[in-house]
Structure 1
Amino acid sequence: MKLQVRYFASIREALGAGEALETRAATLGALRDELIARGGSHAEVLARGRALRVALDQVMADESAALREGAEVAFFPPVTGG
């Protein structure tokens, strides 16, 4: 399925603003693991044990949330300022 992934704050600094990608992941957690498996900066910034928040279609979600075609996923640190 095709998704739009966006990164914010320090994650954006490491990975860029975001990307369109094709995935087989069924949940947010599986998508995170798929991104970690890329290695490099993705593995470092999204690593398990690092605190981060995730939103699905602009709504905070937990990693068990199911993905759907065309969804927008956003990753960001737990505290962001304005």
Structure 2
Amino acid sequence: MDILYFAWVRERIGLPKERVETSAATVSELVAELSAREDRYATAFSDLTALRVAVDQELTDFEASLEGAREVAFFPPMTGG
């Protein structure tokens, strides 16, 4: 599965995207797996209220299923203007 990181999430993790093998059933399980990897991931995912997530380019929540998903993107909330 491809994981994409945007804005300050990308800066904290140090990668714009990566491909991962995961057994996670939900986005929150994926976040737990990633956070356990290294401190930089734990830091990026330390406050989920400051993050938004999209699965296969559809905005969703952290309890969303990953069944059949090809891509997960993490980014800060968007602002309007």
Normalization by structure 1: what TM-score? 0.84
Asked if the contact 1:54–1:76 (Cα under 8 Å) also holds between the matched residues in 2, the reply is: yes
Superposed CA RMSD: 1.8
Q: Distance in 1 between matches of 2:31 and 2:69?
A: 17
Higher helix proportion (structure 1 or 2): 2
Report what 2:38 is aligned to: 39
Identity %: 46
Asked if the contact 1:9–1:80 (Cα under 8 Å) also holds between the matched residues in 2, the reply is: no
- TM-superposed deviation, 1:47: 1.4
Normalization by structure 2: what TM-score? 0.85
| Stretches (4+) displaced over 3 A | none
Assess, with a 3 A threshold, how the Cα gap between structure 1 residues 80 and 53 changes in structure 2: closer, same or farther: same
One-letter code aligned to 1:40? D
Report what 1:74 is aligned to: 73
Q: Which residues of structure 1 form unaligned runs of 5+?
A: none
2:46 pairs with 1:57: no
Q: Per-residue displacement from partner, 1:36-81 (whole Å, max 9, x unpaired)?
A: 1113100001114551000000010111111134510000011368
Asked if the contact 1:4–1:70 (Cα under 8 Å) also holds between the matched residues in 2, the reply is: no
Q: Distance in 2 between matches of 1:62 and 1:72?
A: 14
